[in-house]
Structure 1
Amino acid sequence: MMKPTLFAALVAICVFAACAKHAGTSNSGSGSTTDTVITPPTDPAVSATVGFFLNDWTPKTFTVPSTTAGTVGSTSYTDELTIDISKVLTKVSPYVYGNNTNLWMGQIVTQSNLVGYIKDLSPNILRAPAGSNSDIYFWNQASAPPSDAPVLLYSNGTEDTAGYWYGGNTQSWTLSLSNYYALQAATSSGGIITVNYGYARYGTSADPVAAAAHLAADWVRYDKGKSKFWEIGNETYGNWEAGYQIDQSLNHDNQPQFVTGDLYGQHVKVFVDSMRAAAQEVGSTIYIGATLLDAAPYTGAYQSLLTWNQGVLTEAGNLVDFFEVHDYFTPYNDNTSEANILASATTVPTNAMTYLNQQMAQYGVTPKPIALTEWNIQAVNSKQDVSYIAGVHAVKALGSIIKNHFGEASRWDLANGWNGGNDMGMFSEGGEPNVPLWNPRPVFFYLYYFQKFFGDRMVSDTLQSTSSDLTTYSSSFTSGQAGTIVVNSGTTAHTLAIDFKNFAAGSHYYWYVLTGGTDVAQFSGQVVVNGTGPNNAEGGPASSYASIKAYTAPLTGTIYLSVPARAVVYLVADKKS
């Protein structure tokens, strides 16, 4: 056990004391001290890697949920957490809660239950049209591509039927562009759109780059400011992507067979000029991003990867507004363990931001905002993607994304395909046995409570522990409350002693505990919220999550919080009235 005195007599304030734990403290019954001065918080300068993604930041008000009496943890604690409200690490970008739509999930705006879930999730931004299919997408066509789009395209070195997708397709199995915009409106979300860069490579006109840039610019005109953020291509460095490899016999502007970073950077200049001119014509403010790698290429990588960032940054790094990266955290196609999945949640965002800052500095680019426009885990064969572990990972990763100053993040994706449980979708698209269409997967519940219980500022905290099991992310609300999210990645329970500094506490605190189900030993497909289990074979309490009562206890000094194994606890302390 650790020494119980965290602050001694000189700290600014202590809250949650179940007894007179701290020397020099007098409690007024509200949980705050009466004989110390509170240091007010000061917002730091906006990080360059967040930048304009904070332009739409708004103060956040905590809504006290309905409550039921909770059980306070043992005073024989295993770990200590000190939270200093005066030390603001960053304002929280509203755009880190984003998600991805796609073209094969159907005309979902007509699905009222799904739209309700998305609205409750409050992603604030929805990406379109659909990952790699963005590079074979013609937003202004209904059923056929333009005449200069070839019948065959390369993917992974093999030429096959192109399989183009169209924004004007209103059939039930796809998502039309008009219904994407309707989904934006129905869920109070903005947009981040990936324009078709691949067409600049495989197009057969005399000037395919100009044709693709014109297509993108026309979309900007059509959009008329609904979507502020625009990406030029999706994973354009990938040999799986349309446009990475082209049939040179059909090309008429002497492009090489394989794309390179410098070629893409040269083409980006044309896109940016056309898209910015279009935005000016319709009076829209837009921000344009280019694709980078967020980690050094693997040993033996193909040439385009080896020099990708160098080429992009050298050619267009100071021209674009932001950079977009993707990361799937765990090794590709690997049956990754629980421990390794959860460990990746903090190491990947930290390493990625370090690498990107180094790359911008190395190639003389002024630091710019970073958008993580696709993220998830890619573990397979044990139903990891649809498990509660994916939810625990998502919470831990999202906290790390905020802490490492990403400006935007969109999780992949709202719905995908069952594939035996290797399904990254947040909602069931109907192929999952014994589960209704659009049933929320565990990750939905973990991210729903994250938004409810995480404030508009991340603040500094210090965790003292004898293990690496716990990860904490602490925050404050402009409305005056403060709290923390505690993730236990370990296999044993902990009791955490929590104290706040520089915080005028109110009379109560509130918390939710999310744990896995008992359906399977490791990768349970269920999540239990404050003792309430799922409505269906998989997922969580879909019919009652919005009304489940939070646990509450009196706020009189240090709080002793029980944190079960592999659990996430969301806690907010009320403000002094």
Structure 2
Amino acid sequence: MKLIIKHISVIIVIVIVLQACTKAKTPDTTIVTTDTGNGGATGSITSPTDPSVAVSQGFFLDNWEAKTFTKPSVQNAAKPTTTASVTVTADFANVVSKVSKNLFGNNINPFTGQYTDAGVVNNLTNLSPNIIRAPGGSLSDVYFYDLPSGGKPADVPAELLKADGTPDPTTGYWSGLVTDSWSISLNNYYSLLQKINSTGIITVNYGYARYGLSDHPVETAAHYAAQWVRNDKGRTKLWEVGNENYGNWEAGYRIDVTKNKDGQPEILTGQLYGTHFKVFADSMRKAASDIGATIKIGIVLTETNDQSNSVGVQNWNAGVLSSAGSSPDFFVVHNYYTPYNENSTPETILATPSSVTSSMLSWVNTSIQTAGIAPKPIAMDEWNIFASGSRQQVSYVAGVHAVLVLGELIKNQVSMACRWDLANGGADGNDHGLFTYQQTGTPDFTPRPAFYYLYYFQKYFGDRMISSVVTGSTNIVSYASSFNSGEAGVTLVNKGTTDQVVNINFKNYYTGANYYYYTLKGGADNAPYSGIVTINGNSPSGSVGGPSNYTAIAASSSATSGGILVTVPARGVVFLVCDKK
């Protein structure tokens, strides 16, 4: 429809220009008439306002970056002819949270190669994890960054103790100055970060403070951590002390008191760890100050109620927080969402992101409040699923789960997370790795399905989450976003077993001419846990992962006129972005 406006149009233009030159925060209520039935607003709109930064996000949002949407190559796609039974309404004016690039992190471990291959580097550059945690989960508590392969300090025992108190004949220590092709060196870790434009978070060896044989093992271990900070030369801003130290699987959980020289108990307690943390933090901050660097140091908490912990320290959080007080800069939790080693169904797996994320944050906040200390930012720097028995961890369902986790973290105002892990190996490819490693019949570092879900989520999710509401189905989950460049997007997840046609409406947003989207779904192999993913109909050439041309696949494109409609396949995901007017 065309509007013929004469003299009054000059006045309207002047008003609009004057409004654009001011920084007033009053709502923009300019009246614009648009085509009806295009999924957008048809009257006055309210401009979005960013919410204040939540304490749970804190400094993890300091490096927030505005995003500009780049229109991909497109192929015209016919709209669904079936009537939409589901409606998603996204409100452009209601900003839930800014989106931190620290959410898309991952973990590296020291036994999956040197990460110098050009193909690996290229895929990681495309993935853009932004932050990589090292040196590798539980191995962090037996890791010595400045020793050669096979090296160990003189003041560590030949054998550590198992959870039951017996010596572990398989005890081994890990080193940073390695040259073996199968084990990454510390220098190559730093080099990888530079190549893929990412930064790091480093876990220092807390276990050494427990099993060390010197007269003062805590001070010795803290000094060693501080030396790493100095040698890091300001490259790493985020550090944490120990890994899952509440667990009976960790080095230092149980020590031989006959060899300990500073009177530590046999079994670690939360209070003792919290006390030791302050020694580490003081030494590490002094080291950072000596080199003119500023660092943040995280402390280990449990993600669930630990008052009856059967595989580790009970009342860990209470003890840690009471003794560490205000010393930590942030709180660290890990979460593997599904029941341990259960042959979980897709329904069980896909139900966990919402419920488990919510209960985890509730528990952490309760722990903080009970301890009477100030809240701090929260980092979930290990997460995945424990489900096993049907190759769940390497299936496309794990990719759908990853999308849901990221969406729930943003919605709950968490701004730092690292998935576990880039590559792992073991059980012939049935492991947590985002890439294959030592999987029969498949080249090492072939991207698995979850890789593609993570790639498209970050690329087609904006820099702010906006609110969205779903009606007509409990199986459809929506996470809506906006780009600083003006576009709006919606990520749709179908947790159900039948395709769903979804109609998308935007409030307080004038839609442009077209919308673009990518549809990801699993294959027919190993039902219901396919090991492949198809992207807009493009399939992989092999039996693992997705299409190799994933960066060049054309987006499906349809006109907004007549409504924004899309089919979300059974247990599929659609990443959609709509033009601005």
What range is the shorter-chain TM-score in?
Answer: over 0.9
Instruction: Give the C-alpha shift of residue 173 in structure 1.
Output: 1.3
Q: Which amino acid aligns with 2:44?
A: V
Instruction: Give the C-alpha shift of residue 36 in structure 1.
Output: 2.1
Structure-1 residue corresponding to 2:86: 79
Instruction: Give the C-alpha shift of residue 440 in structure 1.
Output: 0.4
Structure-2 residue corresponding to 1:146: 153
Q: Which amino acid aligns with 2:329?
A: D
SS at match of 1:227: coil
Instruction: Give the C-alpha shift of residue 307 in structure 1.
Output: 1.2
Structure-1 residue corresponding to 2:272: 263
Q: Which amino acid aligns with 1:121?
A: L
2:383 is the alignment partner of 1:375: yes
Q: Which amino acid aligns with 1:167?
A: G
Structure-2 residue corresponding to 1:388: 396
Q: Which amino acid aligns with 1:80?
A: T
One of 509, 515, 520 as aligned partner of 2:521:
515
Deviations 1:181-230 (A, max 9, x none): 00100110110000000000000001000011011111111112211110
Q: Which amino acid aligns with 1:475?
A: S
One of 221, 236, 241 as aligned partner of 2:230:
221
2:127 is the alignment partner of 1:128: no
Deviations 1:108-142 (A, max 9, x none): 1x211111111100000000000000000000111
Aligned residue runs from structure 1 range 34-49, under 5 A: 36-49=43-56
Aligned residue runs from structure 1 range 157-236, under 5 A: 157=164, 158-161=166-169, 162-236=171-245
Instruction: Give the C-alpha shift of residue 34 in structure 1.
Output: 8.3
Q: Which amino acid aligns with 1:94?
A: K
SS at match of 2:288: helix
Instruction: Give the C-alpha shift of residue 261 in structure 1.
Output: 0.2
CA–CA separation in structure 2 for the residues paired with 1:105 and 1:317: 38
Using the TM superposition, name which of 552-561 and 402-411 deviates more: 552-561
Structure-1 residue corresponding to 2:24: none
Aligned residue runs from structure 1 range 541-560, under 5 A: 541=547, 543-556=548-561, 558-560=563-565
Structure-1 residue corresponding to 2:410: 402
Q: How many residues align?
A: 548
Structure-2 residue corresponding to 1:309: 317
CA–CA separation in structure 2 for the residues paired with 1:298 and 1:435: 44
TM-score (normalised: structure 2)? 0.92
Structure-2 residue corresponding to 1:366: 374
Using the TM superposition, name which of 452-461 and 291-300 deviates more: 291-300
Q: Is the 8 A contact 1:376 1:424 kept in 2?
A: yes
Q: Is the 8 A contact 1:385 1:421 kept in 2?
A: no
Instruction: Give the C-alpha shift of residue 468 in structure 1.
Output: 1.8
SS at match of 1:352: helix
2:574 is the alignment partner of 1:569: yes
Q: Is the 8 A contact 1:383 1:420 kept in 2?
A: no
CA–CA separation in structure 2 for the residues paired with 1:393 and 1:368: 27
SS at match of 1:408: coil
Q: Which amino acid aligns with 1:151?
A: A
CA–CA separation in structure 1 for the residues paired with 2:340 and 2:41: 55
Structure 1 residues 507 and 364: CA distance shift in structure 2, 3 A: same
Deviations 1:408-435 (A, max 9, x none): 1000000001414431000011x22321
SS at match of 2:332: strand
Aligned residue runs from structure 1 range 434-445, under 5 A: 434-445=441-452
SS at match of 1:230: strand
Q: Is the 8 A contact 1:32 1:506 kept in 2?
A: no
CA–CA separation in structure 2 for the residues paired with 1:450 and 1:185: 23
CA–CA separation in structure 1 for the residues paired with 2:313 and 2:415: 24
Q: Which amino acid aligns with 2:93?
A: S
Q: Which amino acid aligns with 2:566?
A: L
SS at match of 2:180: coil
Structure-2 residue corresponding to 1:19: none
Structure-2 residue corresponding to 1:292: 301
Structure-2 residue corresponding to 1:489: 495
Instruction: Give the C-alpha shift of residue 439 in structure 1.
Output: 0.6
Q: Is the 8 A contact 1:30 1:505 kept in 2?
A: no
Structure-2 residue corresponding to 1:14: none
2:119 is the alignment partner of 1:113: yes
CA–CA separation in structure 2 for the residues paired with 1:34 and 1:538: 43
Q: Is the 8 A contact 1:26 1:33 kept in 2?
A: no
CA–CA separation in structure 2 for the residues paired with 1:155 and 1:52: 38
Structure-2 residue corresponding to 1:21: none
Structure-1 residue corresponding to 2:507: 501
Aligned residue runs from structure 1 range 22-33, under 5 A: 26-28=33-35, 31=38
CA–CA separation in structure 2 for the residues paired with 1:557 and 1:265: 60
Structure-1 residue corresponding to 2:359: 351
Q: Which amino acid aligns with 2:187?
A: S
CA–CA separation in structure 2 for the residues paired with 1:357 and 1:201: 28
Instruction: Give the C-alpha shift of residue 300 in structure 1.
Output: 5.9
Q: Is the 8 A contact 2:211 2:252 kept in 1?
A: yes
CA–CA separation in structure 2 for the residues paired with 1:228 and 1:33: 43
Instruction: Give the C-alpha shift of residue 557 in structure 1.
Output: 5.2
Instruction: Give the C-alpha shift of residue 29 in structure 1.
Output: 8.8
Instruction: Give the C-alpha shift of residue 507 in structure 1.
Output: 1.4
Structure 1 residues 45 and 306: CA distance shift in structure 2, 3 A: same
CA–CA separation in structure 1 for the residues paired with 2:411 and 2:491: 13
CA–CA separation in structure 1 for the residues paired with 2:92 and 2:562: 16
Q: Is the 8 A contact 1:434 1:537 kept in 2?
A: no
SS at match of 1:556: coil
Q: Is the 8 A contact 1:25 1:33 kept in 2?
A: no
Structure-2 residue corresponding to 1:65: 72
Q: Is the 8 A contact 2:41 2:506 kept in 1?
A: no
TM-score (normalised: structure 1)? 0.92
Instruction: Give the C-alpha shift of residue 305 in structure 1.
Output: 2.7
Structure-2 residue corresponding to 1:427: 435
CA–CA separation in structure 2 for the residues paired with 1:182 and 1:504: 45
Structure-1 residue corresponding to 2:6: none
| Runs of 4+ residues over 6 Å off in structure 1 | none
Q: Which amino acid aligns with 2:506?
A: F
Structure 1 residues 300 and 274: CA distance shift in structure 2, 3 A: closer
Using the TM superposition, name which of 413-422 and 563-572 deviates more: 413-422
Q: Which amino acid aligns with 2:574?
A: V
One of 88, 97, 116 as aligned partner of 1:90:
97
SS at match of 1:573: strand
2:462 is the alignment partner of 1:455: yes
Deviations 1:405-464 (A, max 9, x none): 2221000000001414431000011x2232112110000001100011100101111111
One of 417, 432, 442 as aligned partner of 2:425:
417
Q: Percent sequence identity over matched residues?
A: 49
Using the TM superposition, name which of 240-249 and 398-407 deviates more: 398-407
Using the TM superposition, name which of 328-337 and 151-160 deviates more: 151-160
